[in-house]
Amino acid sequence: MKLAVLLEGSNEDFGEIASLSNPGFTRLVDTEHCNEEDEIGILLKELSQFRESSEKVFIAKFSGREAVVREMGDEYDGMLICLSFNKNSRYHIDNIKSTFLNLYDQ
């Protein structure tokens, strides 16, 4: 099963989560500093390529914009989860690392 993760957090947070997955089977993308339209376009393109690849995990460091999440949810037909290190985000959970590992091991 393929796992796509939209992650809101710092470069350090992103690196920590990315380091938990197998580099040969993981696609990493950073769209955090893109405008909304470009971010959606890049993520859709990358998710499309991911869908056709042998990679198992997709991790995108993204802006946290709700419109981006909605668009990705509408367009991507695989498992897509949003996680945030930002305590003010609706996607925040306390233990992202263990949650990611639980999903990654599925």
The CATH number of the domain where 24 resides is what? Answer: 3.40.50.11230
pLDDT in tens, the chain (106 residues): 789 999 999 999 999 999 998 887 899 999 999 999 999 999 999 999 999 999 999 999 999 999 999 999 898 888 899 999 999 999 999 999 999 988 877 5
Residue 38 belongs to a domain: yes
β-pair partners for 5: 59, 81
Question: What pLDDT was estimated at residue 10?
Answer: 93
From 99, 87, 103, 101, select the one nearest 8 (Cα to Cα). 87
Q: Is residue 31 part of a domain?
A: yes
Q: Helix crossing, 36-52 with 66-75: angle to 10°? A: 30
Any domain includes 100: no
